Amino acid sequence: AERCEALAGKFPALLQDARLGFPSAVVPLHKACEHVGDLLISRALPGDTLSAYMKRLNKCDKRDQLKFGRICREVGVFLAGFHSRYVDPSTGRPVQHGRFHPGNVLYDPATGSIGAVGLSHMDASAPCDVDVFARALRKWAGDRFVSEFNRAYSRVEVGSCLIAKERAIVARAPSWWLCGSDIELPSELDGGDSDSSDSEADDEDAAKMQ
């Protein structure tokens, strides 16, 4: 509870972020007038854990392959946005979720929305979220879907800024770095307008895999 309160004080936006199941209230639990623990109350998020959803997919079904490829890209976009919103004010580094694996990622098939829970380990010095998720994804689905996730993460447009590791190309961009290898994000500077044909091409490539 103390850890969550400290995080909420440092990053107040956590309490209003509709895609994060961050504890918004703490209820002390008592037994015989003695404090025995705390009940953390978080926002209810739609969907199921991605790990549970993955188990329902047929790895040999091309439609499921295409569907899961799109989900991996959405998770990459979600994580890149998370890293751009939550930055350690003292170091300028993006705050890592700390436990960003499929068991803490929520996916809602009805809306396609992505969310995250298990945020009590958030820290700028926590293990790199990209690496943690990629390792878990590789074990279940293989390198192709890891590439889908990594590519979407690296290509997210953040405030029309082109960001690379340990440097900000645009003056108004925060001077923090992304974990992992050098990454360039498309922006208005290089004419990187978003194009829906990218996702269509991705789907066609995925369909040819098996």
pLDDT in tens, 94-125: 999 999 999 999 999 999 999 999 998 899 99
pLDDT digits (tens, 9 = 90+) for 159-197: 334 443 433 333 343 433 344 333 344 433 344 444 444
Q: Encoding tokens for residue 96?
A: 């890592």
The answer to whether residues 114 and 105 touch, using CB atoms and an 8 Å cutoff, is: yes
Share of the chain above pLDDT 70, in %: 68
Q: Are strands 23-31 and 34-42 parallel, antiparallel or unpaired?
A: antiparallel
Q: What is the dihedral of CA 174, 72, 105, 186, to 10 degrees?
A: 10
How far apart (Å, rounded) are the C-alpha atoms in residues 37 and 197? 52
Please report the domains of the chain, with CATH numbers, ordered by start residue: 2-42 (no CATH), 48-207 (1.10.510.10)
Residues in contact with 199: Cβ distance below 8 Å, sequence separation at least 6, in sequence order: 70, 73
- Determine the 3-state secondary structure of 135 from DSSP: helix
State pTM to two decimals.
0.70
